[in-house]
Homo-oligomer: A and B are copies of this chain.
Amino acid sequence: MSSQAEHPTLLIPGPIEFDDAVLGSMSHFSQSHVGPPFVATFGETLTMLRKLLQTSDPASQPFIISGSGTLGWDLVAANLAERGEEVLVLHTGYFADSFADCFETYGVKATQLKASIGDRPQLPDIEKALKEKKYKLLTVTHVDTSTGVLSEIKALSELVHRVSPETLVVVDGVCSVGCEEICFDEWKIDAVLTASQKAIGCPPGLSISMYSGRAMEVFKTRKTPPASYFASLKNWLPSMIHYYPFMPHHANEVAVMQNYEAKKPSYFATPPTQLINALHTALTQILSGSLNERFAAHREASQRIKKTVTSYGLKQLAEKPENQANGMTAMYLPNDLKAPEILPNILKRGVIFAGGLHKEIAARYIRFGHMGVSVTDPKRDDIEKALKVLKEGLGDAGYKAE
């Protein structure tokens, strides 16, 4: 495909390299957003999203909305919390600060539980915090894109359900959905929010969420209306059900919605039809294989990368192995080198890495994203190439990686 020809290999923690077929779907001919062919595509995409997140509970509700991953925070803050309520934000880097800002925008009081750079809040501290105050919900960044720190969701959710069972468990999975295991039902998660352009492998422009039946119940029993218009689940819910004709339990609503369409359409806003076609292709590819094998492939590639960069003498921000994400590696530069000195050396050899994003240490580290086809497609040698040019790029700056 000519659009893919000759370009630097993009190995930042999102957007990632996209498969040819996914990019081909981006140029799908124009479709009516309310016509049967697109409705079928959208419906199948919502169904596949359930499979990716391993939820078979019919009460779970998927949402796919035009927007950045950031929009998923507004969905949570404007729909699951109300003005004056308290939420607990677990901090592992840049993205917790921003999520907390988002809550404050809607008048929700966000308490952050912080860990030092490269670490994550520990369960006993979280337990203590949950016992001190009643929180409407708790948020955790599954993988913090700014630091490469992985949080453990299963044990965390068990803790919350044991200590503060009414607190909703909200997972920011922007940099984890598609490369880290998430068992939505089994782990009793209440909301996962993510974006298209990372491990799912679809170009940016989609905010993707899954809400549990319990979360939807909390939303439906709000005392005040949702605090946003574009990010109101109330506005999006009818169209998600309308586009979702494949679950038997929705049969009644669908009948209503189909009728609704003929008379009073369930339209809220025009969905991004091409992006949803591309997401359909990406999810079809992911689900054509085993999810467990996919997660294992990411773990194996990550181990290989982390072992190699360690052999180069580079230290990760996430020092403890259990804190290390499987879809990206954030590593300090040696010898006081700065990211703006190293990244151009790597680019001229055909690979794009990302600079730092944690404001205190941004210039001192670089980030290597290893998600999606760069890891899973055996025809690609992206990872080996990247490890090689990283070594060469450091060499250009006078650092000899052994």
Contact = CB atoms under 8 A, between A and B. Distances in A.
Contact of A264 (B7, B18, B106, B362): B362
Please classify how large the interface on chain A is, using the bins under 10, 10 to 19, 20 to 34, 35 or more.
Answer: 35 or more
A32 interface: yes
B229 A262 contact: no
A67 B67 contact: yes
Interface string A1-35: 10111010010101111100001101111111111
Interface string A300-339: 0000000000000000000000000000000000000001
B33 A23 contact: no
Given A27-B26, A195-B270, A272-B204, A230 B73 contact: yes
A28 B10 CA distance: 13
Interface string A242-276: 00000000000000000000111101111111110
A3 B15 contact: no
Contact of A105 (B26, B205, B227, B267): B227
Main secondary structure of the interface of A (DSSP, over half): loop
Contacts of A264: 359, 362
A230 B29 contact: no
Nearest to A15: B30
Interface stretch (A132-140, A349-357, A386-394): A349-357
Given A73-B230, A102-B230, A204-B272, 10 more contacts: A1-B27, A10-B32, A14-B270, A18-B29, A23-B27, A68-B230, A205-B275, A262-B355, A264-B362, A265-B357
